[in-house]
């Protein structure tokens, strides 16, 4: 096995894989240079040659897709059992796992709910409603998405809501400086947003990293297991993620893979300077360049290098390939979007005509900065008789029907999670409108309890019904939640809970009545059950404790 995975590497790749695990290493890998192959081979080498236990290795990626790809490759080298033991996943999944495990040490409950971006935006939209008239009066445009982005940026840089509120003093009603007004509103909303999350027993994605950093930095037993840390796409790490790497690397054994030339997430608080910072914080850090490209033609590489080489401060590295020169990239300048669109359509037709059937319409791709730019291009393609198919849409777990089902399960797990309550209480429709929801939430807040508990107390006759009355409308909802809660407490598996849920509430019929593409949406629900079954199967095999699998899958 060892000869197989080492012999397939080029000289630079092999040097990186066999590098002394006790000396911090930076693998600076250009695009198409086989960095994933090197990273997985290094993990295998650490386990098989240096005898580092798989459970003592932490491999961090930026996406679940990247983690899954790495797991698949690693399984072929060391087998399924040892691969499962490697702590592999995103920064967020790693933090989620250990926060739940050691929640008491950071002052939160272990059944917290992760508030996703969509729910976070809804919270901010609600908080902005009382300020609507003020913004209109001051002629200020401040969207929920913009505020959410700014809050995320503050959290990435470690700026707390308290610190921001103190730095942005209240303004006089006659204040004309819109910057001061916007800063104060932003600081207030940030503070209220944090209070809402706390009341809901929830953390947003940024909180996972911040609380994880607090845990790893202050409670040593949460990191003593880690003997070697590997981080992929290191050029995209922000300050918090860099702090997480340092906190985990108590043994000072680190391998990072990155490419400063591919640092494109500065707008999302990524710090390419972390590469230089690591050399200061980890004495003796060495660098290995992967400069053999296996993906592109030499014409594309020459074009790319000509562009990035204009940055005189970049780390001097190159890329070379054994592929032929290929077709030269072409840069065209157009007068306007109509000219550009017509040019694209005509060029596709021209290439098709000259290739004698070697290419089909499906062999062409048009990349857009955002979907709104497609209108002119679609029109031009249609005019020239070029068939077009728009790609995109919601990710699986962002789809309406999936979020509906998961909202019920979230509420069973965390009864205080207000976004899940607001989503599920009227699905299927129970005649609970926005005004009624506001009344329920307001009275629940006055009692210091969650909205679900408020409805349960009404149902049990412990408190009087509100006006207009909601007991009759919400009784079926309360019964569903209690039934699911009882089954969950008795050890029912997720697949059983989902099946019971969709059956009891008649979710298929609900989709049939309300959604034109109900069959597709129902098929997605069935796929969710299949997914839950796969997770159960792996957990029941006993390879990974349930809480760990939930975070890293």
**Is 552 a residue whose pLDDT tops 70?**
no
Nearest to 91 by CA among 265, 227, 207: 207
Q: Whose structure tokens read 């999944």?
A: 93
How many residues are given for the chain? 553
pLDDT tens per residue, range 243-285: 999 999 999 999 999 999 888 777 777 888 999 999 999 999 9
Kindly tell me the sign of the dihedral angle through the C-alpha atoms of 176, 180, 182, 184. Answer: negative
pLDDT tens per residue, range 135-175: 888 888 888 988 999 999 999 888 999 999 999 999 998 88
Average pLDDT in the chain? 90
DSSP string covering 243-309: HHHHHH-TT--EEEEE-GGG---GGGT--TTHHHHHHHHSTT-EEEEE-B-SSS-HHHHHHHHHHHT
Rg (CA), the chain: 27
Residue 540's pLDDT band (cuts 50, 70, 90) = low
Answer yes or no: is 31 a known binding residue. yes
pLDDT tens per residue, range 434-469: 889 999 999 999 999 999 999 999 999 999 999 888
Distances (CA, A) of 332 to 46, 299, 329, 343, 392: 49, 17, 10, 9, 26
**Is 542 a residue whose pLDDT tops 60?**
no
**Beta carbons of 145 and 121 less than 8 angstroms apart:** yes
Answer yes or no: is 296 a known binding residue. no
Answer yes or no: is 532 a known binding residue. no
pLDDT of 541 = 63
pLDDT tens per residue, range 304-363: 999 988 988 888 888 889 888 888 899 999 998 889 999 999 999 999 999 988 999 999
For residue 119, give the 3-state DSSP assignment: helix
% of the chain beyond a pLDDT of 70 = 95
**Is 517 a residue whose pLDDT tops 90?**
no
**Is 474 a residue whose pLDDT tops 80?**
yes
Question: Which of left, alpha, beta for 269 (phi over 0: left; psi -120 to 50: alpha)?
Answer: left
Query: What does the pLDDT average to over 225-238?
Result: 95
The conformation of residue 103, written as its DSSP 8-state character, comes to G
% of the chain beyond a pLDDT of 90 = 70
Looking at the DSSP bridge assignments, the partners of residue 231 are 60, 256
The conformation of residue 25, written as its DSSP 8-state character, comes to E
pLDDT of 553 = 35
Answer yes or no: is 34 a known binding residue. yes
Query: What does the pLDDT average to over 397-422?
Result: 93
| Measured distance CA(433)–CA(238) in Å, rounded | 42
**Is 104 a residue whose pLDDT tops 90?**
yes
pTM for the model stands at 0.77
Kindly tell me the sign of the dihedral angle through the C-alpha atoms of 491, 495, 498, 502. Answer: negative
- Close Cβ partners of 170 (under 8 Å, ≥ 6 residues apart): 184
| Measured distance CA(304)–CA(299) in Å, rounded | 9
- Close Cβ partners of 299 (under 8 Å, ≥ 6 residues apart): 325, 326, 327, 328, 329
| Measured distance CA(99)–CA(106) in Å, rounded | 8
Answer yes or no: is 33 a known binding residue. yes
Answer yes or no: is 362 a known binding residue. no
Q: Whose structure tokens read 């807040």?
A: 445
pLDDT tens per residue, range 365-400: 999 876 657 778 888 898 899 998 877 666 678 889
Answer yes or no: is 431 a known binding residue. no
**Beta carbons of 35 and 29 less than 8 angstroms apart:** yes
- Close Cβ partners of 393 (under 8 Å, ≥ 6 residues apart): none
Answer yes or no: is 79 a known binding residue. no
CB atoms within 10 A of CB 74: 24
508-527: string of b/e by CB count within 10 Å (b at 16+)? Answer: bebbeeeeeebeebbebbee
Q: How far is CA 510 from the centre of its chain?
A: 30
**Beta carbons of 256 and 27 less than 8 angstroms apart:** yes
**Is 230 a residue whose pLDDT tops 70?**
yes
**Beta carbons of 299 and 328 less than 8 angstroms apart:** yes
């Amino acid at each position: 096995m060892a000869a197989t995975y080492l012999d397939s590497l080029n000289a630079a790749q092999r040097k990186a894989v066999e590098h002394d695990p006790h000396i911090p290493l930076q693998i600076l890998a250009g695009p198409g240079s086989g960095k994933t192959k090197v990273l997985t081979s290094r993990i295998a080498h650490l386990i098989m040659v240096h005898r580092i236990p798989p459970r003592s290795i932490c491999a961090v990626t930026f996406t679940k897709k990247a983690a899954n790809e790495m797991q698949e490759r690693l399984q072929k080298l060391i087998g399924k059992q040892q691969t499962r033991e490697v702590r592999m996943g995103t920064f967020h999944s790693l933090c989620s796992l250990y926060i739940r495990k050691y929640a008491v040490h950071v002052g939160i409950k272990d059944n917290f709910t992760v508030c996703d971006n969509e729910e976070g935006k809804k919270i901010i939209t609600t908080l902005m409603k009382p300020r609507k008239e003020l913004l209109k009066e001051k002629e200020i445009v401040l969207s929920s998405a913009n505020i959410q982005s700014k809050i995320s940026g503050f959290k990435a840089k470690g700026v707390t809501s308290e610190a921001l509120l103190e730095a942005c003093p209240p303004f006089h009603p006659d204040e004309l400086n819109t910057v001061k007004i916007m800063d104060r509103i932003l600081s207030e909303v940030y503070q209220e947003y944090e209070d809402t999350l706390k009341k809901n027993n929830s953390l947003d994605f940024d909180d996972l990293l911040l609380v994880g950093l607090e845990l790893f930095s202050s409670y040593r037993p949460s990191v003593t297991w880690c003997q070697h840390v590997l981080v992929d796409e290191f050029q995209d790490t922000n300050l918090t993620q860099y702090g997480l790497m340092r906190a985990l690397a108590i043994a000072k054994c680190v391998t990072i893979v990155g490419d400063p030339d591919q640092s494109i997430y500065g707008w999302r608080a990524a710090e390419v300077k972390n590469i230089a910072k690591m050399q200061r914080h980890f004495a003796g850090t060495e660098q290995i360049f992967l400069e053999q490209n296996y993906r592109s033609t030499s014409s594309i590489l020459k074009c790319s290098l000509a562009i990035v080489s204009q940055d005189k401060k970049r780390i001097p590295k190159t890329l070379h390939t054994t592929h032929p020169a290929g077709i030269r990239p072409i840069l065209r300048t157009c007068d306007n979007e109509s000219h550009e669109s017509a040019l694209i359509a005509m060029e596709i037709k021209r290439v098709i005509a000259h290739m004698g059937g070697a290419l089909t319409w499906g062999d062409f791709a048009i990349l857009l900065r955002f979907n709104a730019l497609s209108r002119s291009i679609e029109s031009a393609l249609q005019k020239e008789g070029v068939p077009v198919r728009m790609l995109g849409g919601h990710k699986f777990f962002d789809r309406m029907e999936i979020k509906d089902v998961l909202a019920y399960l979230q509420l069973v797990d965390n009864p205080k999670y207000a976004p899940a309550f607001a989503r599920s209480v009227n699905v299927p429709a129970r005649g609970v409108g926005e005004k009624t929801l506001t009344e329920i939430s307001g009275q629940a807040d006055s009692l210091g309890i969650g909205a679900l508990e408020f409805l349960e107390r009404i149902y049990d006759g412990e408190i009087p019904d509100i006006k207009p009355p909601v007991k009759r409308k919400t009784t079926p909802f309360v019964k569903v939640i209690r039934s699911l809660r009882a089954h969950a407490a008795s050890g029912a598996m997720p697949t059983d809970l989902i099946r019971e849920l969709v059956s009891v509430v008649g979710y298929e019929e609900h989709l049939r009545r309300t959604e034109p593409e109900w069959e597709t949406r129902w098929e997605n629900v069935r796929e969710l059950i299949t997914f839950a079954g796969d997770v159960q199967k792996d957990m029941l095999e006993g390879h990974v404790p349930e809480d760990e699998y939930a975070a890293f899958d």
